[in-house]
Amino acid sequence: MSAVEELPMVVPGLVGFNDDASQPMLMGSRCKACGAHAYPYTEICQSCCGETEKASLGSGGTIYSHTTVRVKPPFKLPRSYAVAYIDLHAVSLRIFGLLDLADGWDQRIGDSVRLVIRDMGVNVEGDPCRRPCFTLVETATE
Amino acid sequence: MAAVIGTGITHFGAFPERSLDSLGIEAIRGALADAELSPVDMQGAFFANALGAMLLGDTTVGQSVCAAIGLREIPVVNVENACTSGSTAFHLACLSVDAGQADAVLVVGVEKMCVPGFGLINSSVHDVDTQLGMVTPAGFALRAQRHMHEFGTTAEQMAQVTVKSRQHAALNPMAQFRQPESLESVLSAPLIADPLTRSQCCPIADGAAAVIVASDHYASRFKRAIRVVHSELASGSYENPMDIVRWGTDYRTAQRAYEAAGLGPKDIDFIECHDAFSIAEILHYEALGLCEPGEGGQLVSSGATSLGGRIPVNVSGGLLSRGHPIAATGIAQLVEVSTQLRHEAGKRQVEHCQVGLAHCMGGDKLGDTKSCTIAILAR
C-alpha cells in the first residue's frame, strides 16, 4: 500500500512540528540583533535590518478580533470562512490566521486557540493545498 | 504651497460602454473648461490609475490619455498608490509647482474596474495574509468587531454612517447611489464580512476626476482659485502588535498635517474622508480629532457629521455613496472640497465654509494601511 502524499502547504515554511511530531508549530523568524519576532519568516529583520534565524512561534494564542467572510471567497476557500487576529502565547506577536469552523464554534474575542493544519483551498498556482488554521481550546471567560 | 484653479468630474457608476480613455478625457475637458484654459497651458501631468495594468493589461495610461487631447512632450507621471493614487498624484503636483518646475499641471484620476467576476479586493496576492484569506472587507470587519468590543460601538451606529451617506448623495448629481436608505435596510442587507453588510461597503465603480494645480503666483489671476494649505503623504508603520482601533498611522498622519498647516480639528469646517466601510469613517473621526477615541459611533448618531451639523463629513456621499473608482477617488474628494470652498455646492453647500480637509488611505499590510494622505485647502 503506497503512502498518501500530503498536499503542499499554501506557502512553504509556515509550519513546523514539535519534537514528537504531535503538534504543528508556527514557524517564523527571530532577529539575532534586536530579538524581534516575525511571521512569516523574513530574511532581514523588519525592525532593525539585522540578520534573522528561523524560530518556532509556538502553537497557541488568544483571539484579539475575528470575522466571517461570507461572499466571493478567494483561493477556493469555503463559501463562509472565518479569520482572526491572534495574539500568540509563546512570543509577543499578533498574527493573522484562518479559523477552523468545525463543531459549530461561535467565535469570541478572548477565545484560546491552537494551531492545526487543514486541507483548504488552492495556492497561487491553483493547486489544492493545506493551510494553517486555528481551532478552539477554551472559550473566553468574560 | 499651490492652488486648485480648475475641477472636472464624471458620473461614477458602472459604464461598460465607456473606455478608460474616454472617462479621463471627459474629466480633463471639464477641468480645462472650468479654468478657461487649453491643453497647451498644461506644463505637466500627474495621472493616477490603480488597476489598469491588472484588469485591462494597460500601462503608461497617462501618456495615452494626454495624447488624446493633444498633450505631448510634457512630463507625465503615472501614479499607483492603491486608493491614494489620486491624492498622491495631487501631492506630487503640489510639490512640482511649489518647486517652480511648472506653472500649471493636470492631475487626473481614472478607474475602469466594473468587469465581470471582480472578486473582493486584496492588497497583494503574494502577501501570506492574502493567501490565508485576508481581503479588504475582512480587515475592516476585524476593526469593527474590536471597536464594538472595546468601546461598545453598536451595529446601528455603524449603519447610520451609510444612512447619512445616502442622504448626502441624494444632493450630489454625480454620485452613484442617490436613493435614501433606511437603517433597517442597511442592517438587513447581505453580510459581506461580519458585522459589515453590503450597504456598509463601498461599491466598485468606473469614473474619473481631474483638477488643475497651479503655483501660487500663476493662480493669483484666477478669481475662483482655492489655496492648498498643506498636503501630507505617509506610509504605514506595520508595528506588531498593531492596535487596530487606535489606528496609529491615521492619528500620526493627521497630527503631522495639522501641525504643518498650523491648524487643529476645530479649524476645519468640513471633511471628505476615506469611508470605504462604515466603520472606517468612525475610525477616521477619531484619528482626525473630531472626538475622543471610541466615541466615533456616538458622533455620527448625534448628527454632528451630517450636513448642517457641527463638522459635516462626506457631504458628497463619500466612497460609500458617491462611489469608489479607486484612482479617481482622491481627486474626487479634492473636487468636492474645492467646490464647497468656492461656495458652488448648491443644495449640499456647507454654509460659510472657509477650510476643508481631504483624507484618504490605501492598501493593507500587516494590520496597517500602506498609504495615507491628508490635504487641507482654504478659500
Q: What is the pLDDT of residues B42-90, one digit of tens each?
A: 999 999 999 998 888 889 999 999 999 999 999 999 999 999 999 999 9
Q: How many CB pairs under 8 A join A and B?
A: 94
Q: Copy the grid coordinates of residue B368.
A: 496597517
Query: pLDDT digits over B221-271, tens only?
Result: 999 999 999 999 999 999 999 999 999 999 999 999 999 999 999 999 999
Q: Which of B 350-379 lie inside 8 A of A, CB atoms?
A: 367
Q: Which of A64, A67, A74 sits opposite B194 (nearest CB)?
A: A67
d(C-alpha B239, C-alpha B221), whole Å: 47
Q: For chain B, positions 234-273, list CB contacts with chain A under 8 A.
A: 238, 240-242, 244
A-chain CB neighbours of B123 within 8 Å are none
pLDDT for position B212: 98
pLDDT of residue A55: 96
pLDDT (tens digit per residue) in B126-166: 899 999 999 999 999 999 999 999 999 999 999 999 999 99
Q: Of B324, B333, B348, nearest to B12 (Cα)?
A: B324
Contact A74 B137 (CB under 8 A): no
The answer to whether the beta carbons of residues B48 and B325 sit under 8 Å apart is: no
Kindly give the pairing relationship between strand A112-122 and strand A128-138: antiparallel
* Residues B79/B48, Cβ–Cβ less than 8 Å: yes
Of B193, B238, B367, the CB nearest to A85: B367
Residues 40-99 of A with CB under 8 A from B: 40, 46, 64-75, 77, 81, 83-85, 87, 92-94, 96-98
Nearest to B141 among A64, A67, A109 (CB): A67
Residue for grid cell 502588535: B241
Look at residue B107 and give its three-state secondary structure: strand
Put simply, the answer to whether B145 touches A123 (Cβ < 8 Å) is no
Once rounded to an integer, what is the mean pLDDT over residues B181-206? Answer: 97
pLDDT at site A2: 47
Q: Which residues of B are catalytic?
A: 83, 324
- With the CA atoms of B24, B26, B28 and B34 taken in that order, what torsion angle do they form, in degrees rounded to the nearest 10? -160
Q: Tell me what the pLDDT averaged over chain B comes to.
A: 96
pLDDT mean for each 10 residues of chain A (142 residues): 75 90 94 96 95 96 98 95 98 96 89 96 96 95 76
Q: Do B367 and A96 touch (CB under 8 A)?
A: yes
Residue A131 with chain B: CB contacts under 8 Å: 132
- Which value does ipTM take for this structure? 0.95
**Alpha carbon A65 to chain centroid, angstroms:** 15
What's the full length of chain A, in residues?
Answer: 142
Cβ atoms of B174 and A53 within 8 Å: the answer is no
B122 φ, ψ (degrees, to nearest 5): -130, 170
What's the confidence (pLDDT) of residue A4? 64
Residue percentage of chain B with pLDDT more than 90: 94
Alpha carbons B87 and B81: distance in angstroms, whole number = 9
User: Which residues neighbour B348 within 8 Å (Cβ) at sequence distance 6 or greater?
Assistant: B168, B171, B172, B307, B315, B316
Q: Are B122 and A11 a contacting pair at CB < 8 A?
A: no
- Please report the DSSP string for B170-239 in residue order: TT-TT-S--S---HHHHHHSPEEETTEEGGGBPPB-BEEEEEEEE-HHHHTT-TT-EEEEEEEEEE----
Please compute the mean of the pLDDT values over residues B12-33 and round it to a whole number. Answer: 96
pLDDT at site A1: 46
Report the pLDDT value the prediction gives residue B242, as an integer from 0 to 100.
93
Chain B residues with CB under 8 Å of A77 CB are 133
Strand partners for B378:
B227, B355
Q: Taking each helix axis as running N to C, give the angle between helix B136-151 and helix B278-287, from 0 to 180 degrees, rounded to the nearest 10.
A: 60
pLDDT band of B121, cuts 50, 70, 90: confident
Q: Do A10 and B137 touch (CB under 8 A)?
A: no
The whole-angstrom distance between A129's CA and the closest CA on chain B is 11
The end-to-end CA distance of chain B, in Å, is 13
Nine-digit cell string for B271: 471633511
